[in-house]
Each structure stands twice: as C-alpha cells, then as structure tokens.
Amino acid sequence: MKLVATVVHRVVRTARRVAAEAVRRWVVFGELWRRSLQVRVVISTLALSTAVVFVLGMVLQNEIIDRLVNAKQQAAIAQTGVAQRTVAIALRGADSSTENLPFTLAAALATLTTASTTAGPEAQAAASSAAGAFVPVLVQSAPGGADAAAVPVGPYQNIPQSLRQFVQNGQSGYQMTTVATPAGQQIFLVVGAPISTTLSPSIQLYLMFSMSSEQNTIGVVQEDLILGGLVLVLLLAGITNLVIRQVVRPVRNAAEIAERFAEGHLDERMRVIGEDDVARLAESYNQMAESIQAQIHQLEDFGQLQRRFTSDVSHELRTPLTTVRMAADVLHASREQFPSGLSRSTELLVDELDRFEALLGDLLEISRLDAGVEELASEQVDVRGLARSSVNSVHGLVEATGTSIELDLPAFKQLKENIGQSKWKEELKVFPGDVRHFNFPHKFDFIITNPPFYERDLEADSAAKNLARHSSELTLAELLTVIENNLSPEGTFGILLPYHRAQYFERLAKDRHFYLRERLLVRQTPRHDLFRAVLHFSRHRENFVPDSELSIQDEQGQYTDEFVELMRDYYLKL
C-alpha cells in the first residue's frame, strides 16, 4: 500500500508540473498572440491554408479512388466475359452425371489459365492486364438455390450470399467483399455471371479479383497528398511570414521611434524609402514629430520666460512690501489712539499684508519649483482655521449689513467633543478620514456599525443629514468591504439596519462568507410593525440562529423593562 501511495503521489506531482507548464506556455502564447501582428497573421494563414489543403486533398483522393475502382470494375467485367465464353465452350458436351460433375467443372476452370478462348488474344491480354490476377469459382447450384446441395469448385464460401442469389436468377453482377487470407484481411472484387450450357441445374461462374494493388496505389496517393499538403502549407506559411515582415518591420520601427520620441529624444525620425504607403506614413510621422518638437520648444521658451517673470516680480515686490509692512506695524501699534473705524481699518491692513506676504512667499516657492531647485511635496492642511480666518476677516461687514455666517465644520470635531464627555473616553479613539480608504493600525475582534439607513428614499433639505442617513456615499456593499478588510479572522460584527433592508444585507453578507449568528427585531410598540433589525455576523456558519423581538415602549408609551435593561448603561436618559 505504501508503494502504491508513493507511485500515486509521484504521478499527481508530475501531472501538476505538466499542467503548470502547459498553463505557463499557454499564457506566453496568449501574450505573444496579443502583442505580435506577424504571429497572428502567420498562424491564421496556416490554419486557413491547412483547411483548404485538407478539403482539396479529400476531393482529389475521392476522385482518384473512384477512377481506380471504376477501371477495376470495367476490366473485371471484361475479363469475366472472356472467362464466361471460355467456360461455356469447355462445358459443351460435358458429362452431366453427378459422379463426374466435379471433375468436369474442374477441367472447365483449368481452361481459364490457357489462351485457347473464343476471344482474340489481344482482347484477353488487355482485359487481364487491367483486371489483374483472379481466383475463379465454378458452381452448379441446386434446385431452389440451396447452398448445401450445390456443387462448387473453388472457394465458394467467400462469395457473398446476396451476389449468389443475384447470379442464380440469371443476371450478371459484382460486389466488394472482405476475405480472410493467411496474409490477413483482404478486399476482393467478386464478379459473377451465369454460364449457358446444356447442364441442369444451371452453372455460375465467379471471378475474385484482389484489390491489393489498388489499395497500395491509394496508399501511395494518400502519402503523396499528405506530404504535398504539408509542404504546401509550410511554403504558404513561409511566404506569408516574408510578406507580412515587409509590412510589420516598418510599423515596429515606427513604434520604437515613437517610444524614443516620447522619452524625450525629439530628434528621432523615420527613414523614408520609396513612395509606397509605408513611405507616406514615415513622411507624415516626421512632419508630426517636427511640429510637436517646435511646439515643445516654444512652450519651454514660454515657460522659461514665465519663470523669469515670476521670479523678477517676486523679488521686486519684496522692497515695497517691506516698507509698507513697517508703516502698517507702526499704525497697528498705535491703533488704540485712533477712532474705532480707523482702528478696524488698521487691523484689516495688517491682516491683508499677512496674506500678501504669504502669497508672495508661495509665488517665490513656485518659481523655485519651476526652476527645479526644490521638489514638490504634499502636506496635510487643516482648512478649518482658514475658514474661521475668512469669516473673521468679514466680521465687520457682516455686522454692518445685519447678516450672519454659520460654519458647518466636519462631524469629526463634534464626535471628538462628545467622546471627551463620555466616561469611556480613555477606551475610545477617533480616526478622521473616509473609512473606505483609511488604513487602521490593526485588525478588530468586534465591529459595530450604524450605517446610513436609506437608499433611493426621499432626501431631506439638509446635506449633512442626507450624508448621515442615506447610502449615496457609503453603500452596504462598500461597508462589507471595509468590515472584511479590518475584521480579524475570528472576529464578529454587529449592525443596526431598517427592517426592510435586513434580508438584502444578509444576502450580501453571505456572498462575502459572513453568516448570521443572532437576529434581534425591534418594534416601536407592540401595535407597530417591525422597523429595525439588529444583526450579529461571524465567518463561521451556525446550525441554529436565535431570533428575538424587542418593543421599545409599551401600550402606555413607557419604556419596556427589556429596553431599559438593555440600554441602561448606554442611554443617559434611562
């Protein structure tokens, strides 16, 4: 058993290696097929040529076989006519007694090997040379056609039964048959004809012509057709390869030159040879390259001029800005001595000068980046301070016009303030960012989520409420992807959803190989329909999933004991 297991293991390992190698070669061929026009054209031509050559070969083979068989049949029928007359002459006046009949028939067959026939020697020689050697059979059929009472001379058992009946009815005919010989199975053409004699019952003559020479001829023809077809297909493939190379080679050269041109070698051009289509392609490409090169040089000159202008302007503004800054600082230091309106103008002047200096610094940095002195790098910026600064800059105008400006800062700040007031603030940590793209530092053993409830429902007037309640920005499928990427292998997660979306989410989770562990369905009161579902999932399939229901309030509008017990530690109003 151990030996058998070892052999099976080796066979499986070998099969895997062969399969892997086949897959690798198939991938390489697929890549070559996609990338090489020459390979596609040559293989396509080879396949089509093979199909055409195969069809033509089959047609020629069938035509040759039909002509060989027809010539054999005609020669065999002519030879049978000659033999029929020879036997008829030999049986004239023959002894018809039963005891001497076999000897009489044998003597008649012996005459077939001589040339003393009623037909001329030239006709007999022509028929013999075309029909080939034959095996004669002479038989006197019994009354009623019974084979057991027939008197045959020769291998009568090799004559087909259907041909026997046909000839016994006084008609000549022929038929192909397969005969077992010491050399193996051979095909014979059997021709039968009745003999007109005074003997009764009638005499039938059968000549068995071997088809071996015709089979050999057909075999040679098939070999020649196969060899000629292969040579023809290979020649066509070679010719196609040579022809397609004349087209593909200029295209490849054009592709290589275009790649070098794209890499920055703007002086690359194609060689123009002749006046054909490829030459016109090369001329068009060279004209396009010259136009692009001229435009690139023009843009470089313009960019250099722009960088120089930016640098000059930035430096020229430094001196007057410094003078204005000094004067503004003096005024700002004495602003308490000015009237309220003038004091406010001084503050605005200083603020705008700060902005102008920042803009001038950014302008200088841009000029250095354009000159290649510095590299561009991204950094995070808190735009809330910028928003507050913008609001403060127009504070006086807002008060003067009696209007108001409200900032809707990200919910992250509000969430952080709420957690700061919680008694679990040491155990909670808030991460700012889009949960779909955020990389958490580790996997979680339990995830609880209250995602946006609604999908394709009526939206509110507030964009913030729509973002929190509708799944236009975070779909349930995207939420499952986030959970799948951040949940530990043995972790579980819980989710609160509208009741009408629970089954849809269960199907989505099952497709991600998350299985339900527990289901809690919630009503507002016992009289109301179910409107919320609390679902608990894991990666392990459970044999039994417990279902339970919870009513938030009783008939009198009071919180039920079950709800109070469940939410006591989390809901401050309880």
Query: CA-CA distance, 168 to 192, in Å (whole number)?
Result: 9
| 236 and 194 within one domain | yes
Domain boundary among 369, 392, 424: 369
- When mean pLDDT is compared over 208-212, 357-361, 453-457, the highest value belongs to 208-212
CB 55 within 8 A of CB 233: no
Query: CA-CA distance, 506 to 519, in Å (whole number)?
Result: 11
Single-letter code of the amino acid located at 540: H
| 329 and 472 within one domain | no
pLDDT (tens digit per residue) in 467-479: 444 445 678 888 8
- 453 within a domain of the structure (yes/no): yes
- 73 within a domain of the structure (yes/no): yes
pTM score, two decimals?
A: 0.42
SS3 209: strand
Query: CA-CA distance, 36 to 248, in Å (whole number)?
Result: 9
pLDDT (tens digit per residue) in 287-329: 888 888 888 888 878 777 777 777 777 677 777 878 887 888 8
* Domain hosting residue 325, numbered range: 275-369
**Per-residue model confidence (pLDDT) at position 31:** 79
DSSP-derived letter for residue 498 is E
- List the beta bridge partners of residue 184: 181
| 103 and 43 within one domain | yes
Q: Which residue has the higher pLDDT, 458 or 366?
A: 366
* Size of the chain in residues: 574
Count other Cβ atoms within 10 Å, centred on residue 207. 26
Mean per-residue pLDDT over the chain, rounded: 78
Count other Cβ atoms within 10 Å, centred on residue 506. 19
Q: Is the four-CA dihedral 31, 37, 42, 47 of positive or negative sign? A: positive
* Adjacency order of strands within the sheet including 134-140: 151-153, 134-140, 203-210, 184-195, 173-181
264 conformational bin, left if phi > 0, alpha if psi -120 to 50, beta if neither: left
| 5 and 43 within one domain | no
**Per-residue model confidence (pLDDT) at position 508:** 92
Chain centroid, CA 276 distance in Å: 38
Single-letter code of the amino acid located at 293: Q
Residue with tokens 């200083």: 350
pLDDT (tens digit per residue) in 44-86: 888 888 888 888 889 988 888 888 888 888 888 888 888 888 8
- List the beta bridge partners of residue 535: 495, 519
Q: Which residue has the higher pLDDT, 367 or 189?
A: 189
CATH classification of the domain holding 308? 1.10.287.130
| 40 and 27 within one domain | no
Query: CA-CA distance, 76 to 132, in Å (whole number)?
Result: 8
- 413 within a domain of the structure (yes/no): no
pLDDT (tens digit per residue) in 484-504: 999 999 999 999 999 888 999
- Using alpha carbons, select from 469, 496, 470 the residue that is nearest to residue 550: 496
pLDDT (tens digit per residue) in 93-104: 665 555 667 777
| 206 and 74 within one domain | yes
- 382 within a domain of the structure (yes/no): no
DSSP for 4-69 reads: HHHHHHHHHHHHHHHHHHHHHHHHHHHHHHHH-HHHHHHHHHHHHHHHHHHHHHHHHHHHHHHHHH
Query: CA-CA distance, 109 to 86, in Å (whole number)?
Result: 9
| 303 and 255 within one domain | no
- 389 within a domain of the structure (yes/no): no
Residue with tokens 């609001």: 391
- Percent of the chain scored above 70 by pLDDT? 79
| 143 and 78 within one domain | yes
**Per-residue model confidence (pLDDT) at position 282:** 82
pLDDT (tens digit per residue) in 12-55: 888 888 888 888 888 887 777 777 777 788 888 888 888 888 88
DSSP-derived letter for residue 529 is P
| 241 and 108 within one domain | yes
- 423 within a domain of the structure (yes/no): no
- List the beta bridge partners of residue 208: 135, 190
Count other Cβ atoms within 10 Å, centred on residue 428. 12
Scanning 91-132, the segments in alpha helix (DSSP H) are 101-110, 121-131
**Per-residue model confidence (pLDDT) at position 492:** 94
Domain count for the chain: 4
pLDDT (tens digit per residue) in 156-200: 888 888 888 888 888 888 888 888 888 788 888 899 888 877 666
The pLDDT of residue 447 is above 60 = yes
pLDDT (tens digit per residue) in 190-245: 998 888 776 666 788 888 888 888 888 888 888 888 888 888 888 888 888 888 77
| 466 and 521 within one domain | yes
SS3 492: strand
The pLDDT of residue 552 is above 70 = yes
Chain centroid, CA 202 distance in Å: 75
How do the residues of the chain divide into helix, strand and coil, expressed in percent and rounded to 5? 60, 15, 25
Q: Which residue has the higher pLDDT, 224 or 388?
A: 224
Count other Cβ atoms within 10 Å, centred on residue 537. 25
pLDDT (tens digit per residue) in 102-147: 777 777 777 776 433 344 444 444 444 467 788 888 887 765 555 5
- List the beta bridge partners of residue 203: 140, 195
DSSP-derived letter for residue 251 is H
Query: CA-CA distance, 189 to 222, in Å (whole number)?
Result: 21
Residue with tokens 């068009």: 284
- Percent of the chain scored above 90 by pLDDT? 10
Cβ neighbors of 438 (< 8 A, separation 6 or more) are 431
- 182 within a domain of the structure (yes/no): yes
- List the beta bridge partners of residue 520: 534, 548
| 550 and 517 within one domain | yes
CATH classification of the domain holding 453? 3.40.50.150
Query: CA-CA distance, 163 to 139, in Å (whole number)?
Result: 13
Instruction: Label the pairing between strands 515-523 and 547-551.
Output: parallel
CA atoms within 13 A on the CB side of 6: 3
DSSP for 535-573 reads: EEEESS--S---EEEEESB-TTSPBPHHHHHHHTTT-TT
| 19 and 63 within one domain | no
- 411 within a domain of the structure (yes/no): no
Count other Cβ atoms within 10 Å, centred on residue 255. 10
Average of pLDDT values for 239-266? 80
Q: Which helix (H) or strand (E) holds 463?
A: helix 463-469
**Per-residue model confidence (pLDDT) at position 371:** 66
